Structure 1
Amino acid sequence: MSQNAELRASAAEQVTRLLTQLADLEELRAELEEDEYEDSKADTLQQLEEFKASLARMAAGDVTLVDDLECIRLATQAAVSRAFQTPEILRMFALKQPMQLRERLTVLQRDRKLGKGIAAATYSVEVVEILTALKKLGGDLSGEERAFLQDNITSGLAAFEKVVDEA
């Protein structure tokens, strides 16, 4: 089965699942608390809206399987070159999870301010890895973050950035 056929089949399954979920909610409405029903319905409608937007991007050629494969290829390159020392950050990069990367950065910064047991070197390495991953995923970095990255980037991550920029 071609990638396009697999994508079409997956999209059909997704829309069927969401529509069945809505139908089931309507069927079980009398058995559910009103707020539980409303929350579940709103969640399902939100998923449908996100799916619709995703389909529109795919139809416009804005998102392809190649984009996801390219991100995985870059993460593999980073792992092979040992650019990243923190597997969890590499995983978030490979799975294109900028929100989780931002959350990890926030936790690191908070723990550092509170004096929790993270060594300065470990802190710098993880922050640089997160900022590099965010940058490669197209995220916006603040001026302070760009300066921190420039001042603390390791040779491995600098080489990784160069390979990615040339790809």
Structure 2
Amino acid sequence: MSRHGHAENDQLKSNLENQLDRLIAQLADLESNKDDLDPDEYQETKNETIEQMKEFNETLAKLKSGDMTLVDEIGSLQFAIQVAISDAFKTPEVIKLFARKEPAHLRLKLSEIERNHKIGSLSKESFLQQKTEILCALKKLNDKLSDEEITFLKNYISAPLKEFIEIKDYDDIS
């Protein structure tokens, strides 16, 4: 591939990541402003965002079938979008870190939520949801989970997250 082709691929990858970031930020903004919106407006906006993610996912599928140099990057972005659409993850930041394959940052986020829960600035429900999502993302990224983390997943994993983790992955925590 020519030098120019590499630059175009890098630019395309950057644009795709920016689009994913925008959609995830849109979901995050929607969730953080949920109480300020009436239920119909919230649901309509969420449905529109999910529809945009589905369209983006279709675009990625078309790109993936063409340029093989982008298959891994596009596949990762596409999988993150499928996770967002499926409601397996409810935390946009976790989706973003998963899409970018950043287990170290996921570990930092895990430490942050554990600290926030300990000092009382994060509710138990939110803590359990986020910790479970992060551990599932780490598992999917082949990051080694401790026995304590595996036990936590056994106790708190939700049905959508069970579907997210393939059966062969889930054997370790069932």
Into which bin does the TM-score normalised by the smaller protein fall?
0.5 to 0.7
What is the identity, as a one-letter code, of the residue corresponding to 1:105?
Answer: L
Structure (1 or 2) with the larger CA radius of gyration: 1
Q: Does 1:120 align with 2:124?
A: yes
Aligned to 1:9: 6
Q: Shift of the alpha carbon at 1:8? A: 6.7
Q: Shift of the alpha carbon at 1:68? A: 2.2
Q: Shift of the alpha carbon at 1:95? A: 1.1
Q: Shift of the alpha carbon at 1:158? A: 0.8
Aligned to 1:106: 111
Counterpart among 68, 71, 95 of residue 66 in structure 1: 71
- Matches for 1:1-167 after TM superposition, within 5 Å: 4-5=1-2, 9-10=6-7, 65-113=70-118, 115-162=119-166
Over 2 Å off, 4+ runs: 4-10, 64-70, 162-165
- Gaps in structure 1 of 5+ consecutive residues: 14-63
What is the identity, as a one-letter code, of the residue corresponding to 1:122?
Answer: S
TM-score, scaled to structure 2: 0.56
Q: What is the DSSP-based 3-state SS (H/G/I as helix, E as strand, rest coil) of the residue aligned with 1:96?
A: coil
Q: Shift of the alpha carbon at 1:82? A: 0.8
Paired with 1:131 and 1:151, the residues of 2 have a C-alpha distance of 12
- Gaps in structure 2 of 5+ consecutive residues: 11-68, 170-174
- Give me the CA root mean square deviation: 2.6
How much identity, in percent, do the aligned residues show?
A: 37
Which digits, 9 at most, give the CA deviation of each residue in 1:23-68, with x for residues without a partner?
A: xxxxxxxxxxxxxxxxxxxxxxxxxxxxxxxxxxxxxxxxx64322
Paired with 1:129 and 1:123, the residues of 2 have a C-alpha distance of 10
